[in-house]
Amino acid sequence: MSLRWVGAACAAALLSGCASFDGMPESVFRADDLATTVTNKYSIDTIYNYLDQHPNEQDRKVYRDRFVSAWLMAMDARYLVFRRDLSRNVKGGNVALDLVTLGLTGAGSVIASASQELSAAATAVGGARASFSRELYFQQTLPTLVSLMDAERLSVRADILKGLAQNESSYTVEQALADLLRYQSAGSLDVAIQHAAENAAQQSAAAKQHLDAAKAYCSVPPDLANARKALSNELTIATQPERDRLARAANLFSGKPFVSVTDPVSDADGIQAQQEVLANRLLAVCSQAELDDVRQKIESTRSAPAAEPAAPVPGAGNGGGGGT
């Protein structure tokens, strides 16, 4: 038999014995048995038959909570097996193929008459290892994908737990089943890759925004830097007219419809957004002439303080000349 086939056979044999590379203990729950038990006891028909026979709200809630918890347990058991198999395939497969490659190349250096055949077999096994790693998203990227899957599953599980805190009439069986499907789908490499791509796109957009901002900013002498800071400090929010002015100035430099707030405590985020607009505009000021222009535009937004509404006079009518 050709030594190439011998090498391929060795690789297949080692790959079939990768169970020792789990990286985690064997679960006391047999996922398949647990899933069979749960789906038999809480099948869709069984669930609806129970609900049809029990109109009491409390009974329906207790039953809904029990079958949702049981299905979650079965899904968790299946997910644990899925994660263990991923770890086993990557660790066991790579180690096994490495051992085959080392054995073949080592034998080729000792057995001169078979060196060419053994080297060819080692090359084939090495190629199989490279293909194996690519198919399993590489050992370095797998932990990231698993983390994304775990995070998505936790997010959906939180939605389920919030729903279970409500009565069955508010969080119905149909809604619970839909969320369980979402929970099951969350443990998917495809979903994890999608989230990784979305996160990468968001990070890329943020990086571009920071780069654009950095290009707009400039290094200025201390006196101009102090003048910019002084102008920024003038935009206080101590009184309502000053908050009105801040909102108008933010609108001027951003084009966004900022509104003036009446309670800085309850709308701190809105005020912070307005202040950031002005701070970013001042950071782009690179000369005294530009600073004067910005100051002039800000001053153009100043208006007279709004008059406080007059207190109602007891017994006075709505009209200017008294009652009707």
Tokens of 119: 């080297």
Residue bearing tokens 């028909």: 45
Distance of CA 207 to the CA centre of its chain: 17
Q: Are 183 and 153 in contact (CB under 8 A)?
A: yes
Give Cα separations from 162 to 55, 59, 93, 157 (angstroms). Answer: 23, 19, 41, 9
pLDDT at 163: 94
CA angle at 169 for the pair 165 and 170, rounded to the nearest 5°: 50
Query: Would you say the pTM of this structure is higher than 0.85?
Result: no
Per-residue pLDDT at 253: 82
Residue 322 three-state SS: strand
pLDDT at 122 (0 to 100): 53
The pLDDT of residue 87:
65
Burial of 24 (0-12, 13-18, 19+ CB in 10 A): exposed
Measured CA to CA, the distance from residue 44 to residue 34 in angstroms comes to 17
Per residue in 294-309, pLDDT tens? Answer: 888 888 876 544 334 3
Query: Residues 83-123: pLDDT tens digits?
Result: 888 766 555 444 444 544 444 444 444 444 444 554 555 55
Of 200, 162, 159, nearest to 180 by C-alpha is 159
Question: Which pLDDT belongs to residue 45?
Answer: 94
Q: What phi and psi, each to the nearest 5 degrees, are found at residue 221?
A: -70, 160
* Of 113, 132, 130, the residue nearest 3 (C-alpha): 113
Residue predicted with more confidence, 199 or 132: 199
Mean pLDDT of 186-194: 81
Strands, E, within 108-159: which ranges?
none
Instruction: Please state whether 138 falls in left (phi above 0), alpha (psi between -120 and 50) or beta.
Output: left
Cβ-contact 90, 136 below 8 angstroms = yes
The answer, yes or no, to whether residue 27 has pLDDT greater than 80, is: no
Instruction: Output the pLDDT for position 164.
Output: 95
The Cα 90–Cα 139 span in angstroms is 6
Report residue 127 as tokens. Answer: 């190629």
Q: What's the whole-number mean pLDDT along residues 44-51?
A: 94
Please tell me the predicted confidence (pLDDT) of residue 245.
80
Query: What radius of gyration do the chain's Cα atoms show?
Result: 34
- Our CA angle for 217, 222, 225, nearest 5°, is 45
Residue 98: CB atoms within 10 Å = 14
Chain-wide mean pLDDT for the chain? 73
Taking residues 39-50, report their average pLDDT: 94
If one compares 179 and 26, the residue with the highest pLDDT of the two is 179
Instruction: State mean pLDDT over 169-182.
Output: 94
